[in-house]
């Protein structure tokens, strides 16, 4: 695309790509000088010019301007990046139905349900924590909400692959850092807001203000789908000019679940919408997943997929690895892997474990807490686990440059009388839990879900994944099988 098509009075320079990371700059790119929390993109202008970049978009004065390079000074580089990225890739979000989902917990599950069910009616992609997926393409995730360049490039690729919709996880970081300013959302879903990311936002009020941006910026023609049982529902409803519908269990809602029956392998409930009542059967378990399912069903219904047409597909929703994932290798006890890494998320998993664990049998939990992240929740983790568990095994969980033992000691400060030990190596901790489980006990492996990496002092290192470790340990140590014997 010509630079003159993106900026008035700009020279007729052909731009081959957009770049915000100087390390990835290529010949004929346009480089945006983004100011981050650690680095300022203005510091790398000379570096990217040496790589052949033809245009620099900057907000600070540039003293040494090189010949043959266009310099465009703007007031807000990020806002300009969003506008240009959407234009450069052909405004792809305007060519698809775009579902945006935000909230502390449930984003991955709601977006995954939407992608799974909506795809029975029209091709639908997914962008989020788990992966970037569309059609037969599955790519590793970048961030929960990628930067504006990657979002629009990915959506362009999706359009070219025939996608008619996309379900996008929208994190508070992504909203606060302006990564989705130019995404044309049609439906915005709010799951819940609880204690998380205060290391970044500072206060729960600032955290909420970040989440609210998705609804403040939602177009009038859009639909806001809000959790009626969350304390922030009224504030979000007041903040948007879009149409508002709600979903919930306890409070009156546009889409409401009644007569809920939760079992080990699935759930059933009555969905009430207006004067209609629908009997829902799903393979999802746990009360919080009823909320997630309601949010997804409401979002799709509001986008034109009638509830009665969705019903046949709700009983066979694809298992989301690492999200309330039941690991069943034929063992005589329950093993569940979940991404829960917030106090509210952990408590919901513990509540479900209590429901499925018979009296006289034990709940064994394996978890830690991420290094260089919100330290205040560590003691809270201990307090919550202590209320539900019979045995706690503390271990590493993305320690970065912190000592996992010190993190565990902070968690231990909240544990009262529950038996607990610290095992630094996460594989060994999971093995200990599996080997100590008796018939009808429940083992919970929390914090990392399906992630196959571990953040350590010098970056990401490969990790088997909790779900894979659990399967391996059950086969080898509980069933006495080699991995290929099952």
Residues facing 97 on adjacent strands: 165
Parallel, antiparallel or unpaired: strands 137-139 and 132-134? antiparallel
Helices within 400-463 (DSSP H only): 404-412, 426-436
User: Does residue 271 contact residue 297 with C-beta atoms inside 8 Å?
Assistant: yes
Question: Number of helices and strands (H, E) in the chain?
Answer: 16, 23
User: Does residue 337 contact residue 466 with C-beta atoms inside 8 Å?
Assistant: yes
User: Does residue 442 contact residue 361 with C-beta atoms inside 8 Å?
Assistant: yes
Residues at the binding site are: 22, 103-109, 144-145, 171, 179
The DSSP code for 368 is: -
The DSSP code for 477 is: I
| H or E, element range at 32 | strand 29-32
End-to-end CA distance of the chain: 55
Residue with tokens 């979903």: 247
Compute the distance between CA of residue 310 and CA of residue 237 in angstroms, rounded to an integer.
26
| H or E, element range at 344 | helix 343-356
Helices within 219-286 (DSSP H only): 233-239
Burial class (CB in 10 A: 0-12, 13-18, 19+), 38: exposed
Residues at the binding site for ATP are: 103-109
E strand segments, 249-404:
255-262, 267-273, 276-282, 325-326, 334-338, 363-367, 391-394
User: Does residue 271 contact residue 306 with C-beta atoms inside 8 Å?
Assistant: no
- Give the closest residue to 295 by CA, choosing from 259, 261, 245: 245
User: Does residue 17 contact residue 29 with C-beta atoms inside 8 Å?
Assistant: yes
Compute the distance between CA of residue 160 and CA of residue 155 in angstroms, rounded to an integer.
9
């Amino acid at each position: 695309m010509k630079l003159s098509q993106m900026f008035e009075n700009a020279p007729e320079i052909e731009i081959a790509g957009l770049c915000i990371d100087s390390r990835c700059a290529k010949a004929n790119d346009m480089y945006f000088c983004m100011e981050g929390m650690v680095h300022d993109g203005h510091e790398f202008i000379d570096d990217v010019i040496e790589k052949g970049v033809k245009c620099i978009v900057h907000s600070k004065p540039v003293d040494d301007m090189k010949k043959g390079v266009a310099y465009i000074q703007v007031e807000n580089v990020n806002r300009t990046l969003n506008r240009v990225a959407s234009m450069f890739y052909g405004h792809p979000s305007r060519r698809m139905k775009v579902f945006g989902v935000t909230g502390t917990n449930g984003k991955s599950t709601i977006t995954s349900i939407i992608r799974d069910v909506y795809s029975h009616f029209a091709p639908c992609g997914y962008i989020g924590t788990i992966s970037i997926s569309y059609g037969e393409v599955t790519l590793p995730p970048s961030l929960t909400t990628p930067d504006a360049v990657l979002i629009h490039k990915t959506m362009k690729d999706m359009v070219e692959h025939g996608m008619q919709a996309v379900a996008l996880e929208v994190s508070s970081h992504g909203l606060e850092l302006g990564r989705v300013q130019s995404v044309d959302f049609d439906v915005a879903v709010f799951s819940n807001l609880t204690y998380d990311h205060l290391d970044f936002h500072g206060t729960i009020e600032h955290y909420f203000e970040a989440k609210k941006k998705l609804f403040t910026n939602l177009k009038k023609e859009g639909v806001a789908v809000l959790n009626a049982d969350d304390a922030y529902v009224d504030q979000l409803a007041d903040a948007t000019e879009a149409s508002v519908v709600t979903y919930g269990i306890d409070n009156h809602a546009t889409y409401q679940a009644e007569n809920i029956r939760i079992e080990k392998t699935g759930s059933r409930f009555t969905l009430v919408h207006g004067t209609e009542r629908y009997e829902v059967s799903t393979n999802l378990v746990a009360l919080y997943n009823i909320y997630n399912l309601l949010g997804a069903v409401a979002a799709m219904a509001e986008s034109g997929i009638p509830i009665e047409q969705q019903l046949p597909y709700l009983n066979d929703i694809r298992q989301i690895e690492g999200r309330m994932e039941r690991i069943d290798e034929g063992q005589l006890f329950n093993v569940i892997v979940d991404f829960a890494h917030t106090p509210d998320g952990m408590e919901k998993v513990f509540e479900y474990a209590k429901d499925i664990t018979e009296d006289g049998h034990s709940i064994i939990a394996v978890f830690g807490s991420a290094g260089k992240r919100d330290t205040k929740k560590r003691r809270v983790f201990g307090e919550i686990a202590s209320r539900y568990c019979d045995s706690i095994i503390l271990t590493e969980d993305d320690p970065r440059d912190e000592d996992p033992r010190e993190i565990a000691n902070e968690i231990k400060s909240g544990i009262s009388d529950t038996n607990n030990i610290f095992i630094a190596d996460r594989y060994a901790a999971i093995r200990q839990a599996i080997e100590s489980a008796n018939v009808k006990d429940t083992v919970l492996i929390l914090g990392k879900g399906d992630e196959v990496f571990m953040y350590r002092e010098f970056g990401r290192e490969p990790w088997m994944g909790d779900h894979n470790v659990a399967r391996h340990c059950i086969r080898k140590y509980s069933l006495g099988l080699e991995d290929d014997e099952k």
